[in-house]
Amino acid sequence: MKKLSVLLIVLLTAFSVKAQVNVLEIEATGGKTQINKNIYGQFAEHLGRCIYDGIWVGKDSPIPNVNGYRKDLLEALQALKVPVLRWPGGCFADTYHWRNGIGALNERPKIKNVFWGGTVEDNSFGTHEFLNLCELLGCDPYISANVGSGTVGEMVDWIEYMTSDDDVPMANLRKKNGRAKPWDVKFIGIGNESWGCGGDMTPEFYADLMRQYSNYAKMYGGDKFDRIGCGSNGSDFNWTKVLMEKGRNNMDGLSLHYYTIAGEGWNNKSAATGFGEDLYFSGLKKALFMDELVTKHSNIMDQYDKEKRVPLLVDEWGIWTDVEPGTIPGHLFQQNSMRDALIASSTLDILNKHCERVKMANIAQVVNVLQAMILTQGNKMVLTPTYHVFKMFTVHQDATFLPSNLICEKYELNNDQIPAISSSSSIDKNGKIHVTLSNLNPNKEIKLDVNLKGKGFSKVSSATVLTASAFNSCNTFDKPETVVPTSFKNFKKASDTKLEVTIPSKSVIVLELE
């Protein structure tokens, strides 16, 4: 009888452990590091219809605008609380000569965009237009300087034009062009993808060049802005090693670029719509590789910078798919699905987790290009599923990251697997705890216990969910609200420290506890 009782206890314990496989334990009083709001940054390159027809239509356009900026897009970005915006590229940055984009619009020379489809641009969107946009959005400007085809002198003149209030030629030229006071530029990128389209350089050559450019940027800009060194292409860890060895004292941040390529590779990418579960799974798995990337680059940086003075900035990321049929290949116009929303949420969770080292990230791109927040067509505008994720996640901006331990089941497909749940937790300045949860499994809902340690909560003051009927559902110009956030109610407060949540398949949830 005694042996039977012991066996029964063992079986009941085993069953209990199995039943509680999905548990999120949050250290509600263990937060030490702030999630920098700039992790939720954006990127606008002169590429396809991102700038022209996306952000900028001109003052004489029949499309409603505010001094040339699309009014609907401006309002959508203001609602998104964009913290930082990177411009003018991307690859375009290292062919951009800033003097072509100032002065009277009808006197600005045209330029051929050699990287992106050979489009000829009229330079009607330049320095004034970009920096004034940042002021309208209330965000910090991140300028990418031309190192690939430019000169140190050209960069210094641009810095003085934008930031100086002295009686010097460049500041006076700015005043002549209608801007009396300097702009508050927060970040200067010393080149872009210098290992590729920015000059095809070796890390040793670029490190020396970066030191030269950064030295002059410091002399003429002082401490007005951070100087960002061009970092690695994905898993090129040697590039990070060389830059930290040779240039860590000459930069205030180091970038990293990583794109999710669902499918077999760059030459055989996933379609943006109509894809099957294999490409859904592939996209998510490759997006989750961001965690390994950031961890390994951070470990290298730690060897040379234990105090973490030099932050890691993931200033280009997102899913890169085939372009939409019938569009110009070099313009990179792609649709945006529920899969992409989950790629966004799980990536942001990873970046939040690494907030001790990661201080900025810039998804590519803000409108009409790659994993865009917004799509436009004439006077129509669509908010993408990714836009909605970014808006839901604004609760984490500048909040304190709360460490957590997630034990969850796997999502399996074709003898491969990934964690079925992704999450982030933070506490804001008012003491409200926000928990974001993503169910990556497209085939089943998942029950999750959320346990707070060290602090209780009285209620769930708000709850929102983003999901869709299919993992490849998207918002179109004809049906712009196929994938939109709605109120979420499938949770139960089990105690002062425990919440039971049933997460729908392929969904993102944000919970506010107070």
What amino acid positions are annotated as catalytic residues?
A: 193, 316
CA dist., res. 505 & res. 445, Å (int): 5
Question: Which residues of 433-475 form beta strands (DSSP E)?
Answer: 433-439, 446-453, 460-466
**Could you say which DSSP state residue 403 is in?**
-
Residue 253, helix vs strand vs coil: strand
Instruction: Give the amino acid at 189.
Output: G
Distance CA 272, CA 372 (A): 12
3-state secondary structure of 359: strand
Contact 422, 341 (CB under 8 A): no
Torsion-angle region of 461 (φ positive above 0: left; ψ -120 to 50: alpha; else: beta)? alpha
- Helix or strand or coil: residue 349? helix
Under 8 Å between Cβ of 159 and 221: yes
Minimal CA–CA distance to 398: which of 430, 369, 428? 428
CA dihedral 275, 277, 278, 284 (to 10 degrees): 100
Q: Which residues contact 270 (CB under 8 A, 6 or more apart)?
A: 261, 262, 263, 279, 282, 283, 319, 321, 322
The answer to whether 213 and 221 are in contact (CB under 8 A) is no
Dihedral angle, C-alpha 346, 347, 348, 353, nearest 10 °: 90
**What are the strands of the beta sheet with 460-466, ordered from one edge?**
400-401, 421-427, 433-439, 507-513, 460-466, 486-487
Nearest-CA neighbor of 84 among 127, 48, 131, 19?
131
**Strands annotated E in 191-336:** 226-233, 253-260, 263-265, 268-269, 312-319
State the CB neighbour count (10 A cutoff) for residue 9.
10
Residue 454 · residue 30 · CB < 8 Å: yes
